Amino acid sequence: MENERIFLSTPTMHGEEKEFIKEAFDTNWIAPLGKNVDEFEKELASYVGVSNAAALASGTSALHLAAILSDIKQDDIVFCSDLTFSATVNPVSYEKGRQVFIDSERETWNMDPKALEKAFEKYPNPKAVIIVNLYGVPAKLDEIRDICKKHNTILIEDAAESLGAKYKGKQTGTFGEFGVFSFNGNKIITTSGGGMLVSEDEKMIKKARFLATQAREPFPYYQHEEIGYNYRMSNVVAGIGRGQLIHLDEHKAKKEEIYNIYKEGLSNLPLTMNPYPECSEPNFWLSCILIDKDCKVKPLDIIQKLGEHNIEARHIWKPMHMQPVFDGYDYIISEKDSVSEDIFERGLCLPSDIKMTLEQQNRVIEIIKECFYV
Ligand SMILES: *Cc1c(COP(=O)(O)O)cnc(C)c1O
């Protein structure tokens, strides 16, 4: 159908999800918690190769708990990826800390290790570093981890977009003290909404589960010695996650295929795909393009043109240092000009829905070509 909408990324369900939900209904373990939650935690931990996981209401709540467990408090400095979704950095504000934004490098679009080193020169004692693996492409994770180790600083890895991606053979989300995943509706697998906090530190994950269930102390009555949250994942939602996890590798393979079809189909145009180094294996969550400098075509021209054909495309995340809400916050770059700003101004995300047919994708490619040939 010519006019059926082509989406950026929507849920793809398979059937097993219903089986796990049915079990929750049949045993009346709708809530709270239950077998699906326990098993989903174990299965995800085993998939990424980490010892402990806590299933939570969202990726954002996982990031918030990581911030609390990293002891981020009022006026603490936290180095954060500049080019990301605001959810990566907002939890620092929840705890009244102060973000210092770090520019991107060009090879992965993620945090620039050189700019991070510079930030440590200016602020020797940050509480933590929060990095993201944008659009499923791993950051320079070992370099960043080494810098954090050298400075004795906690690393929080926002792997919300990169579940299943690997860096030098190791799964993303496992490089820092804390790793965060999201199962929001547009992510590579979804539970409708949900998240996971992972760590090698069992005490921290137990603490996360405790804080996520209203910080109820083990007393016969309700006793509270800390401020708690209602951040746990429900047993029904976890059932969807268990069914989805079975298909993660399949989703990843399909996303990679989409990326390669764009790469081939758009190869003669003045643009490049979102890059990744050979040592990494992205999950290709979203295929993005960067229009060459000095080209007259702008991201909005393509987004609008695709929109006229009922096709969804989006701008790259607007850098945090450009956001009005973070006006006046420090921002560290290592190059002459801001890299993240440049990527924002020249880049866009293409429809990467794994239910998109080859015929539909070819149509997207033809429309993009038309934008350059007029
Ligand atoms: C989706 C996303 C989040 C937030 O996850 P939710 O589950 O929607 O709360 C955080 N960081 C990044 C980079 C994301 O893309």
Residue 1 has pLDDT above 60, yes or no: no
Confidence at residue 136, expressed as pLDDT on a 0 to 100 scale:
98
pTM over 0.75: yes
Residue of minimum CA distance from atom 8 in ligand 1: 184
Query: Of all residues in the chain, what percent carry a pLDDT higher than 70?
Result: 98
What tens digit of pLDDT does each residue of 277-328 get?
999 999 999 999 999 999 999 999 999 999 999 999 999 999 999 999 999 9
Q: Does 1 map to a domain?
A: no
- Strand-pair partners of 154: 128
CA distance 308 to 316: 20
* pLDDT of 246: 97
Residue 33 main-chain phi, psi, to 5 deg: 50, -145
Q: Please state the rounded mean pLDDT for residues 229-243.
A: 96
CA of 157 to the centre of ligand 1 (A): 12
Please indicate, yes or no, whether residues 95 and 199 belong to a single structural domain of this protein: yes
Which ligand 1 atom is at minimum distance from the Cα of 58?
Answer: 7
Residues 211, 74 share a domain: yes
Number of the ligand 1 atom closest to the C-alpha atom of 183: 7
Q: Residue 266 above 90 pLDDT?
A: yes
- Model confidence at 25, pLDDT cuts 50, 70, 90, reads confident
Q: What are phi and psi of 51, to 5 degrees?
A: -80, -30
CA of 273 to the centre of ligand 1 (A): 22
- Most distant pair of Cα atoms in the chain: their distance: 74
Same domain, 268 and 212: no
Q: How many domains does the chain have?
A: 2
Looking at the structure, do residues 241 and 361 belong to the same domain, yes or no? no
User: Do 213 and 281 sit in the same domain of this protein?
Assistant: no
To test the pocket of ligand 1, the residue of 83, 178, 182 to mutate (highest count of ligand atoms within 8 Å of its CB) is 182
Residue ending a domain, among 199, 215, 245, is: 245
Question: Can you give the pLDDT at residue 31?
Answer: 67
Instruction: State whether 224 and 287 are in the same domain.
Output: no
Q: Confidence band (pLDDT; 50, 70, 90) for 23?
A: confident
Give pairs for 88-94: CB < 8 Å, separation 24+: 88/63, 88/130, 88/132, 88/158, 88/160, 89/130, 89/320, 89/326, 90/60, 90/63, 91/60, 91/63, 91/64, 91/66, 91/67, 92/67, 92/130, 94/64, 94/67
- The confidence band for 209, taking pLDDT boundaries of 50, 70 and 90, is very high
Same domain? 207 vs 135: yes
Q: Are residues 122 and 232 in the same domain?
A: yes
Q: Looking at ligand 1, which atom is closest to the CA of residue 87?
A: 10
To test the pocket of ligand 1, the residue of 8, 9, 58, 60 to mutate (highest count of ligand atoms within 8 Å of its CB) is 60
Q: Is residue 4 part of a domain?
A: no
Shared-domain flag, residues 231 and 314: no
Q: How far apart are CA 156 and CA 129, in angstroms?
A: 6
Q: Calculate how far, in angstroms, residue 360's C-alpha sits from the geometric centre of ligand 1.
A: 27
Question: Closest ligand 1 atom, CA of 63?
Answer: 10
- Rounded to the nearest angstrom, the distance between the alpha carbon of 193 and the centre of ligand 1 is 10
Cis peptide before 32, with omega less than 30 degrees from 0? yes
C-alpha 59 – ligand 1 centre gap (Å): 5
182 C-alpha to ligand 1 centroid (Å): 6
Task: Output the CA 221–ligand 1 centroid distance in Å.
Answer: 36
Ligand 1 centroid to Cα of residue 187, in Å, is 8
CA of 161 to the centre of ligand 1 (A): 7
CA–centroid distance, 298 to ligand 1, in Å, is 27
Half-sphere exposure of 337 (CA within 13 A, CB side): 5
pLDDT of residue 27: 84
- pLDDT category of residue 47 using cuts at 50, 70 and 90: very high
Strands 154-158, 170-171: pairing kind: unpaired
53 phi and psi angles, rounded to 5 deg: -145, 145
Same domain, 272 and 227: no
What does the pLDDT look like over 326-351, one tens digit per residue?
999 999 999 999 999 999 999 999 99
**Contact assessment for residue 354 and residue 254, using Cβ atoms and an 8 Å cutoff:** yes
52: CATH:
3.40.640.10
CB 154, CB 141: distance < 8 Å: no
Q: Which atom of ligand 1 is nearest to the CA of 132?
A: 13
Cα of 336 vs centre of ligand 1, distance in Å, is 30
Q: Which amino acid is at 309?
A: H
Residue of 80, 88, 183, 232 best suited for mutating to test ligand 1, as the one with most atoms within 8 Å of CB: 88
The answer on pLDDT for 148 being more than 90 is yes
Query: Which pLDDT score, from 0 to 100, does residue 154 have?
Result: 98
Q: Are residues 319 and 232 in the same domain?
A: no
Which of 245, 261, 281 is a domain's end point? 245
Top mutation candidate among 158, 183, 285, 316 for ligand 1, by most atoms within 8 Å of CB = 158
> Residue of the nearest CA to atom 5 in ligand 1?
59
Identify whether residues 255 and 205 lie together within a single domain: no
Are 52 and 197 within 8 A, CB to CB?
no
How far apart, in whole angstroms, are the C-alpha atoms of residue 256 and residue 258?
5
Cα–Cα distance for residue pair 86/216, rounded to 1 Å:
30
Instruction: Please give, one letter per residue, the 3-state secondary structure of the chain.
Output: CCCCCECCCCCCCCCHHHHHHHHHHHCCCCCCCCHHHHHHHHHHHHHHCCCEEEEECCHHHHHHHHHHHCCCCCCCEEEEECCCCHHHCHHHHHCCCEEEEECECCCCCCECHHHHHHHHHHCCCCCEEEEECHHHCCCCHHHHHHHHHHCCCEEEEECCCCCCCEECCEECCCCCCEEEEECECCCCCCCECCEEEEECCHHHHHHHHHHHECCCCCCCCCCCCCCCCECECCHHHHHHHHHHHCCHHHHHHHHHHHHHHHHHHCCCCCEEECCCCCCEECCCCCCEEEECCCCCCCHHHHHHHHHHCCECCEECCCCHHHCHHHCCCCEECCCCCCHHHHHHHHEEECCCCCCCCHHHHHHHHHHHHHHHHC
Euclidean distance between the first and the last CA atom of the chain, given in angstroms as a whole number: 26
Query: Domain for residue 55, yes or no?
Result: yes
**What residue ranges line ligand 1, CB within 6 angstroms?**
58-60, 84-85, 87-88, 132, 158, 160-161, 182, 184, 195
Q: Is 101 in contact with 331 (CB distance < 8 Å)? A: yes
Residue 11 lies in a domain: no
**Domain extent at residue 150:** 16-245
**In-domain check, residue 2:** no
